[in-house]
Amino acid sequence: MAPLFTFGKPANETATPHLTHLSPPAAMPGGEVEVHGTNLGPYGDPAEQPHVTLNDITAPILLSRPTRLTIRVPESPEGDLIVHRTHASSNALPLSVATLIAEDLHPVANPAVAPDGAIFATLSGSRGQQVPVSIYRIEPHTPEGEFVMRPFTRNLLNPTGLAFDPQGNLYASSRADGTIYRITPSGDLSVYAEGMGIATGIAFDPEGNLFVGDRSGTIFKISPAYTREAREIFVFATLEPSIAAYHLAFNDAGTLFVTGPTTNSSQSIHAIDRDGNASIFYSGLGRAQGMAFDIEDNLYVAASLHGQRGIVQITPEGKASLAVSGNNLVGLCFLQHGACALATRDAIYHLDIGIHGRPLI
């Protein structure tokens, strides 16, 4: 009869590792992912330590237990994650990994996607800093999925929030001068509205009204009109002065959701109904920033959840989980065919996440 233990090791120490799921199933390079399964962990002998690969590239192990590993995602295209032991390898599970498509930027909120599928992102700069190019256009360049970044707008100081109207015009807020600018598809720039305080987040409702967040917590509503003189501008809602209305997003019901990044580790997302009444939708996030909704009305927000940074999914019922693991994220927008664009402090990444976003225009 074979012994059950040898020098404190189980007799099945070389049993084949088996993977059940990854949490989350998508990540930025450098993000942390938990690998769940059986026969994963070590038994003390360095020769028996597990080894994890993603597309044959080694993924560093941060924590190792028999039923769970925590790994750091390497620079790798999306593909199969496998756990290897001395004499056996596990089944493969797919891991979606974001790929860099544009760098040397400075997004401070969500990127925006145009009707033709191009992505727009800012080089915002520090307060009062004039940069040569303020907004860039990023578009697919080859059938293989390569992207090219082109200058789009110049002479716009500190662009912050971005949004498109149904005609394909891009709107940008300037937190430097409190102005909302309209930019035509050909790049012509004009003033759409002024006097918006420290203008940050912007979003259109289904009726074409433009909502503008101010760092003081004020949210302005601008009615659609052909001329600037005919537009009505009024205060739609006011949050506490400590809450900056930095990021805005609408759900299908026309409720406006608002975040403002703070150092509070238990930050709230506010929901504002059509009458301007504010309530707390969810609490418990760290430094919540840009948001977007999918077609099932799940909210996605760049934030920390239980100490782990990434894109957090919050269901309409208020259940939160990490959808994408990654550091330095400030916003996102959904693209076609279940993909999304992720904005960090200095770059834009593309990720096939299998989630279809709510149409914004």
DSSP notation for 85-143? -SS-B---EEEEE-EEEEES-B-SS--EE-TTS-EEEEB--STT---S-SEEEEEE-ST
Those residues with Cβ within 8 angstroms of residue 7's Cβ, 6 or more apart along the chain or in another chain: none
Those residues with Cβ within 8 angstroms of residue 279's Cβ, 6 or more apart along the chain or in another chain: 270, 271, 272, 273
Which residue has better confidence, 329 or 129? Answer: 329
Q: Domains in the chain and their CATH numbers?
A: 5-97 (2.60.40.10), 99-352 (2.120.10.30)
Q: Mean of the pLDDT values across residues 73-97?
A: 93
d(CA 205, CA 250): 7
Indicate if the pLDDT at residue 249 is higher than 70.
Answer: yes
Q: What is the pTM of this model?
A: 0.92
d(CA 153, CA 162): 12
Residue 4: CB atoms within 10 A of its CB come to 9
d(CA 338, CA 355): 4
Residues 8-34 as b or e (16 or more Cβ within 10 Å = b): eeeeebeeebebeebebbbbbbebbbb
Quick: pLDDT tens for 273-293. 999 999 999 999 999 999 999
